[in-house]
Amino acid sequence: MVACTVGPLATYTTCNLYTRGDFAEYTAFFAAAGVAWALLYALKAMHGAGALDGTSITVFLTGDEERVGEPLSIARHDLIEAGKRSDAALEYEAGVRVDGREFATIGRRSSSSWTLRVKAKEGHSLGIFTPEAGSGAVYEISRILTTFHDQLQEPGATFNAGILLGGTQADFDDEKFSGYVNSKSNIIPPLAVASGDLRTLTDEQTQRIRGKMKQIVAKSLPGTSAEIRFEDKYPAMAPKEGNKSLLKLLNGVNDDLNLETMEPLDPSRRGAGDISFVAPFVSGISGLGAYGSGGHAPGETIALASIAVQAKRSALLIYRLTR
């Protein structure tokens, strides 16, 4: 069995912990500390009871979710291989409450990126839209992005344009996700770049939407040309039957602990995660870490009492999975 805990890299220069009653405020990521404690105390309790004897549990503490490294086939190789050998995967990201109710994660959307580059004829603006001058790079990239918006929306998928550059000079640094532009109002811009992400519920949906994007890009305005490139990051974790069975088992634990029944969380409410790398090979469930608020921002809070609850929930779930 694989237990994956995920805590993204903190980018803050200081990490100060403040306690206020039943809450702790930490200027980094509550996911990192909260999930580690829940898992640690669950395994510690099982060890004390002799419940780990005869079991095989692999724990991955992955603190590099935001910057995994390339290629992914190497960066996540050991995790994937462990998943192939396992019966279940439990991911200890933060628990989720919506309107006071607890939810379990049995589906996570993929995360990939796309970069669109357009070239056009440079010239004086007095000639724009003529057969000789064409439409310019900015109009062409606008056409493409507008068509994406109008034609590609479907349930389970989102695609965001995070940056847009256009002019006589349009330099885009994909590593820093930043750029530089230079131009004049009376020059037809020859260059334009846009980049963003694509999130889908299944890998089949990813490929289908990418295919439609390519078709839209290929229908260039006069005097322009465009290309789009994709980069895979996190695969999708579809809410398959095995995941639903794990949730049923978890709700049996909830019932025995006098905790509320958990419904599956809408995948659109949660980002990508490492459990998706093992999802093709093993059933899984996520959101077993502590609860909190203000995720991915300074001043995140951990609900300290939730650590004990999640530890009890996890210990009993792991026990039943290993028997």
Q: Which two tokens stand for residue 185?
A: 């109002």
The percentage of the chain sitting over the pLDDT mark of 90, rounded to a whole number, equals 68
- Whether 10 shows a pLDDT value over 70: the answer reads no
State how far the Cα of 69 lies from the Cα of 67, in Å rounded to an integer.
Answer: 6
Q: What residues make up the domain containing 56? A: 2-108+237-321
Taking only the tens place, the pLDDT of each residue in 90-135 is 998 888 888 889 999 999 999 999 999 999 999 999 999 999 999 9
The reply to whether 119 and 220 lie within a common domain is: yes
- Residue 318 is predicted with a pLDDT of 96
Q: For the chain, how many structural domains are there in total?
A: 2
Of residues 94 and 4, more confidently modeled:
94
CB 192 within 8 A of CB 118: yes
Together in a domain, 99 and 245: yes
The count of C-alpha atoms lying within 13 angstroms of the C-alpha of 182, restricted to the half-sphere facing its C-beta, is: 2
The CATH number given to whatever domain includes residue 45 is 3.40.630.10
pLDDT of residue 61: 82
According to the model, what pLDDT value does residue 64 have?
A: 58
Are 152 and 246 contacting, i.e. CB atoms less than 8 angstroms apart? no
**Domain end call among 206, 234, 262:** 234
Where among 234, 261, 281 does a domain terminate?
234
Q: What is the structure's pLDDT at 301?
A: 76
Q: 92-106, 223-237, 258-272, 296-310: which has the minimum mean pLDDT? A: 296-310
Pure H helices in the chain: 30-48, 72-75, 77-84, 137-151, 203-218, 241-256, 275-278, 304-321
Residue pLDDT, tens place only, 15-40: 566 666 676 766 554 445 566 788 89
- What CA–CA distance (Å, rounded) separates 275 from 117? 32
With CA atoms as reference, report the closest residue to 220 among 120, 91, 294, 99. Answer: 120
Q: Could you tell me if 122 and 230 lie in one domain? A: yes
Q: Do both 220 and 145 map to the same domain?
A: yes
Do 126 and 211 fall into the same domain? yes
Based on the domain organization, do 115 and 226 belong to the same domain?
Answer: yes
Domain boundary among 178, 207, 234: 234
Mean pLDDT for the chain?
A: 88
pLDDT tens digits, residue range 262-299?
Answer: 999 999 888 888 999 999 999 999 999 888 766 656 66
**Torsion angle in degrees (nearest 10) through CA of 146, 109, 4, 281:** -130
Report the C-alpha gap between 264 and 266 in whole angstroms: 6
Give the pLDDT confidence of 64-89 residue by residue, as tens digits.
566 677 788 888 899 999 999 999 99
Residues, the chain: 323
Tens of pLDDT, residue by residue over 150-165, are 999 999 999 999 999 9
pLDDT of residue 70: 77
Q: Are residues 230 and 241 in the same domain?
A: no
pLDDT value at position 8?
Answer: 47
In percent, how much of the chain has pLDDT > 70? 86
Residue 213 has pLDDT above 70, yes or no: yes
Q: What share of the chain is helix, strand, coil (3-state, %, to 5)?
A: 35, 30, 35
Residues sharing a CB contact under 8 Å with residue 17, sequence separation 6 or more, in sequence order? 24, 25, 26
Residue type, 56: S
| Distance, CA of 76 to CA of 282 (rounded, Å) | 15
From the list 31, 23, 43, 9, the residue with the least C-alpha distance to 311 is 43
